[in-house]
């Protein structure tokens, strides 16, 4: 899904392992995979990621301009309309502390959770494992009453007009 | 032949409104469903919240503004067209009832009248032929 310029999502291979590398040059677009499942049955989402370059937010003058992340993983709960749907974004932030939860300034139903902060040592793969069911209750205050409709990844640097680069691998749902 | 001008467009409120409702309500429902279908199709295609917020919502705002501005005019035109077309069917009925009452009362010289665009014109024409034949037979 192209939002503002096209991010290059390239399928890479390292030995026997394949992964997706995302290179965003002043661009913002996402890759989503439609997958319908009940969160109660598959509450765990796991993935591997690494950030190769964070977007430079030093010249950003407001929060809107800072809204660029090298790596985001979305869990999307579509339901009749945008306002009745729910969205959880897991982000890797360069500076916000892990555990920070924010709400999108233009949509109350879009919650962002910082799951990783700062650069990883030697830009190595980092494993994540989230209990999305519990995260949902934590951020929305209610049990999920709708199914997951899609999982997405995104790397964006369109607000800062800089470059962001990240890689994603082994995205999986588990019981 | 004497032409009868259409002076009132609302002659039988209940019946005319019922027929107008039968057309207008499904039409409005259909348009609402189409509006929602288009909205949902685009939302379901975009899916990513940032895309929905930056692309779909501003477009919907624009569409909604145009709809709000156009709605009174559109509503007026629909009701106006509904009145005209329902009147072509229902408009002559009260006058036909009065004329038939006079025939029943014994005035066999009466012939039923319709306007050029009335839907019942052919039917009323045949009743007039029947009346003509009956008065000749008598």
> Can you give the residue range of the structural domain that contains B62?
12-71
Tell me: the pLDDT tens digits for B16-30?
888 889 988 999 999
Q: Is residue B2 in some structural domain?
A: no
Confidence (pLDDT) at B63: 95
Distance in angstroms (rounded) separating the CA atoms of residues B109 and B111: 6
Confidence (pLDDT) at A52: 94
Q: Is residue B133 in some structural domain?
A: yes
DSSP-assigned states of every residue in A5-67: S--EEEEEEETTEEEEEEEEES-EEEEEEEEEE-TTTS-EEEEEEEEEE----TT--STTTT-
Complex ipTM value: 0.86
Q: Is residue B6 in some structural domain?
A: no
Of B40, B47, B54, the CB nearest to A76: B47
The two structure tokens encoding residue A171: 């995205």
The two structure tokens encoding residue A25: 């040059």
pLDDT above 70 (res A65): yes
Residues of chain A in Cβ contact (below 8 Å) with chain B: 1, 3-4, 28, 30, 32, 74, 76, 78, 80-82, 85, 87, 89, 104, 106-107, 109-110, 149-150, 152, 154, 156
Task: Assign B2 a pLDDT band (cuts: 50, 70, 90).
Answer: low
What total number of domains does chain B contain? Answer: 2
Ramachandran region, residue B133 (left: φ > 0; alpha: ψ -120 to 50; beta: rest): alpha
Q: Does residue B59 share a domain with residue B16?
A: yes
Of A78, A106, A110, the CB nearest to B47: A78
Q: Is residue B85 in some structural domain?
A: no
Q: Is residue B131 in some structural domain?
A: yes
What's chain A's average pLDDT? 92
Output phi, psi for A56, to 5 deg.
Answer: -85, 110
Confidence (pLDDT) at B4: 67
Distance in angstroms (rounded) separating the CA atoms of residues B105 and B100: 8
Contact predicate A132/A174, CB 8 Å? no
Determine whether the interchain pair A106/B53 forms a contact, defined as Cβ–Cβ distance below 8 Å: yes
Q: Does residue B103 share a domain with residue B137?
A: yes
B contact test, residue of A31, A79, A82 with most B CBs within 10 A = A82
Contact predicate A95/A71, CB 8 Å? no
Average pLDDT over residues B76-99: 89
A15 to chain B, minimum CA–CA distance in Å?
32
Helix-helix angle B57-90:B13-46, to 10 degrees: 160
Distance in angstroms (rounded) separating the CA atoms of residues A104 and A96: 15
Q: Does residue B138 share a domain with residue B103?
A: yes
Could you tell me the pTM of the whole model? 0.81
Q: Does residue B65 share a domain with residue B16?
A: yes
Q: Does residue B108 share a domain with residue B65?
A: no
Q: Is residue B80 in some structural domain?
A: no
Q: What percent of chain B shows pLDDT beyond 90?
A: 53
Q: What percent of chain B shows pLDDT beyond 70?
A: 96
For residues B138 and B58, which has the higher predicted lDDT (pLDDT)? B58
Q: Does residue B63 share a domain with residue B97?
A: no
Output phi, psi for B69, to 5 deg.
Answer: -70, -35
Q: Does residue B107 share a domain with residue B66?
A: no
Confidence (pLDDT) at B60: 95
Tell me: the pLDDT tens digits for A68-89?
999 999 999 999 999 999 999 9
Q: Is residue B76 in some structural domain?
A: no
Tell me: the pLDDT tens digits for A81-132?
999 999 999 999 998 999 999 999 889 999 999 999 998 777 899 999 999 9
Confidence (pLDDT) at A33: 95
Q: Is residue B113 in some structural domain?
A: yes
Q: Which CATH number is correct for A2-174, 3.90.220, 2.60.120, 3.40.50, 1.10.10?
A: 2.60.120
Taking only Cα atoms into account, the Rg of chain A, rounded to an integer number of angstroms, comes to: 15
Extents of the domains making up chain A: 2-174
A107 to chain B, minimum CA–CA distance in Å?
8
Residue B62's SS3 state is helix
Residues β-bridged to residue A116: A92
Q: Does residue B109 share a domain with residue B58?
A: no
Residue among A64, A67, A112 at smallest CA distance from A87: A112
């Amino acid at each position: 899904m192209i939002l503002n310029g096209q991010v290059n999502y390239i399928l890479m291979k390292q030995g026997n392992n394949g992964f997706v590398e995302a290179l965003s040059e002043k661009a913002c677009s996402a890759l989503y995979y439609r997958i319908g499942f009940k969160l109660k049955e598959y509450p765990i989402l796991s993935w591997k990621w690494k950030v190769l370059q964070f977007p430079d937010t030093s010249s950003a003058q407001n929060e809107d301009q800072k809204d660029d992340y090298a790596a985001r993983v979305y869990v999307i709960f579509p339901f009749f309309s945008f306002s009745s749907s729910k969205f959880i974004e897991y982000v890797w932030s360069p500076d916000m502390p892990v555990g920070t939860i924010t709400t999108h300034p233009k949509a109350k139903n879009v919650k962002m959770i910082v799951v990783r902060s700062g650069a990883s040592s030697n830009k190595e793969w980092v494993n994540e494992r989230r209990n999305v069911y519990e995260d949902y209750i934590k951020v929305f205050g209610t049990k999920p009453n709708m199914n997951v409709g899609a999982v997405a990844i995104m790397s964006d640097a369109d607000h800062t007009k800089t470059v962001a680069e990240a890689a994603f691998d082994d995205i999986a749902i588990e019981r | 032949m004497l032409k009868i001008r259409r002076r009132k467009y609302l002659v039988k409120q209940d019946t005319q409104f019922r027929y107008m409702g039968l057309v207008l309500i499904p039409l409005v429902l259909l348009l609402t469903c189409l509006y929602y279908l288009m909205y949902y199709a685009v939302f379901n295609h975009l899916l990513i919240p940032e895309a929905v917020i930056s692309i779909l919502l501003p477009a919907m705002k624009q569409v909604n503004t145009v709809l709000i501005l156009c709605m009174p005019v559109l509503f007026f035109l629909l009701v106006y067209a509904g009145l005209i077309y329902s009147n072509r069917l229902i408009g002559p009925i009260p006058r036909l009832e009065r004329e038939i009452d006079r025939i029943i009362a014994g005035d066999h010289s009466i012939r039923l009248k319709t306007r050029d665009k009335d839907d019942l014109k052919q039917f009323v024409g045949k009743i007039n032929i029947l009346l003509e034949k009956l008065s000749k037979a008598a």
